[in-house]
Structure 1
Amino acid sequence: MRTILFTVFLLWIAVIGQAKDHRIGSAKELEALVLAPGDRVLMAEGDWKDQHLVFKGNGSKALPIVLMAVNPGKTFLTGNSSLVIDGVWLLVDGLSFVNGFLNEGDVIGFSEQSSFCRITNTAVVDYNSPDEKVDYRWLSLRGNHNRVDHCFFKGKRHQGVTLIVWLSEKPNYHQIDHNYFGPRPELGRNGGETIRIGTSTWSFHDSFTIVEENVFEHCDGELEAVSNKSCRNIIRNNLFYECKATLTLRHGNHAEVYGNFFIGNGKPKTGGVRIIGEDHIVHDNYFQDLTGTSVSAAISIMAGLPNPILTSHWQVKNAVIRDNLILNCKEPFAIAAGYNPDRYLLALNTVFAKNIIVSDQSPLKWYDDKVSVLFEDNQLLSKSYAGTPEKGFVLKNESLKKMANGLYLKPGQRAFKPFWESGKIGPSWAKLTTSFLIL
Structure 2
Amino acid sequence: MKFIFSSSLMLFFFLQYSSCAKAIEADSISNNTEKQMVTAKTYTVANSAELNALSLQPGDKVIMKSGEWKSQLINFKAKGTAENPITLVAETKGSVILTGNSNLKIDGEWLIVDGLSFKNGFSLKDDVVVFSKTTSNSRLTNTNIEDYNPSDKTVDYKWVSLFGKNNRVDHCSISGKTHQGTTLVVWLDDKANYHQIDHNYFGPRPDLANNGGETIRIGTSTYSMNDSYTTVENNIFDKCSGEVEIISIKSGYNKILNNLFYECVGTVTFRHGNHSEVGNNYFVGNGITNTGGIRIIGENQKVHGNYLYKIAGRTLRSAISIMNAYENPALSDYWKVKNADIQYNVIVDAREAFVLGAGKDGTRTVAPDGVTIANNYVINPTTLLVTQDDPKNLKIENNQLDGGTLISGFVKMGNDLELSDGVWQKKNASKKPFWLNTAIGPGWKKDNRSFIFK
Q: Same fold, TM exceeding 0.5?
A: yes
The secondary structure found in structure 2 opposite 1:119 is strand
* 2:65/2:90 contact within 8 Å kept: yes
Equivalent of 2:440, from 425, 431, 436? 425
Tell whether 2:412 aligns with 1:407.
no
Q: Given that residues 421 and 434 in structure 1 are in contact (C-alpha distance below 8 angstroms), is that contact kept between their aligned partners in structure 2?
A: no
RMSD of aligned alpha carbons: 1.7
Tell me the distance in 2 between the aligned counterparts of 1:262 and 1:12: 49
What are the Cα deviations for residues 352-402 of structure 1, in whole angstroms up to 9, with x where unaligned? 1111111254410112246652101111122xx3x3x22111123669422
The equivalent of 2:144 in structure 1 is 123
Q: Confirm or deny: 8 A CA contact 2:368 2:391 kept in the other structure.
A: no
What is the CA-CA distance between 1:7 and the residue it aligns to?
A: 6.1
* Residues 371, 391 of structure 2: 8 Å contact kept: no
Deviations 1:262-314 (A, max 9, x none): 01111221110000011101111111111111100110000101110011011
1:191 to 2:207 alignment: no
1:381–1:398 contact (8 Å) kept in structure 2: no
Aligned amino acid, residue 407 of structure 2 = E
- Secondary structure at the counterpart of residue 211 of structure 2: coil
- Classify 1:409/1:65 alpha carbon distance in 2 versus 1 (closer, same or farther; 3 Å): same
1:36 aligned onto 2:57: yes
Query: Cα offset for 1:257?
Result: 1.1
Amino acid at match of 1:427: P
Q: Could you tell me which residue of structure 2 aligns to residue 237 of structure 1?
A: 258
AA aligned to 2:422 is G
| Equivalent residue number for residue 392 of structure 1 | 409
- Matches of 1:81 and 1:373 in 2, distance apart? 53
Q: Is the 8 A contact 1:104 1:135 kept in 2?
A: no
Q: CA deviation at 1:417?
A: 1.3
Moved more, 158-167 or 333-342: 333-342
Contact map agreement 2:260 2:282 (CA 8 A) in 1? yes
- Matched residue pairs, number? 433
* Structure 1 residues 5 and 408: alpha-carbon distance in aligned structure 2, compared to 1, 3 A threshold: farther
Matches within 5 A, 1:3-402: 8-359=29-380, 361-369=382-390, 373-382=394-403, 385=404, 387=405, 389-396=406-413, 400-402=417-419
Larger Rg: 2
1:425: how far off?
Answer: 0.4
Shift in CA distance, 250/127, structure 1 to aligned 2, threshold 3 Å: same
Which ranges in structure 2 are unaligned for 5 or more consecutive residues? 1-18
Matched residue of 2:316: which SS? Answer: helix
What amino acid is the match of 1:175?
A: Q
* Counterpart Cα distance in 2 of 1:370 and 1:235: 25
Per-residue deviation, 1:256: 1.0
Deviation, 1:30, is 1.0
Contact 1:420 1:434 in 2 (8 A): no
Q: Aligned equivalents of 1:159 and 1:413: distance in 2?
A: 46
Is residue 421–residue 435 contact of structure 1 (8 Å, CA) maintained in 2? no
Which whole-Å CA distance do the structure 2 matches of 1:325 and 1:271 have between them?
Answer: 14
Shift in Å, 1:250: 0.3
Q: In the alignment, what sits opposite 2:3?
A: none
Contact 1:87 1:114 in 2 (8 A): yes
> CA–CA distance in 1 between the matches of 2:424 and 2:27?
55
Which residue of structure 1 aligns with residue 12 of structure 2? Answer: none
Secondary structure of the residue that 2:98 maps to in structure 1? strand
2: distance between equivalents of 1:11 and 1:434? 49
In the TM superposition, residue 11 of structure 1 has moved relative to its aligned partner by 3.6
Gaps of 5+ in 1: none
Normalised to the residue count of structure 2, the TM-score between the two structures is: 0.92
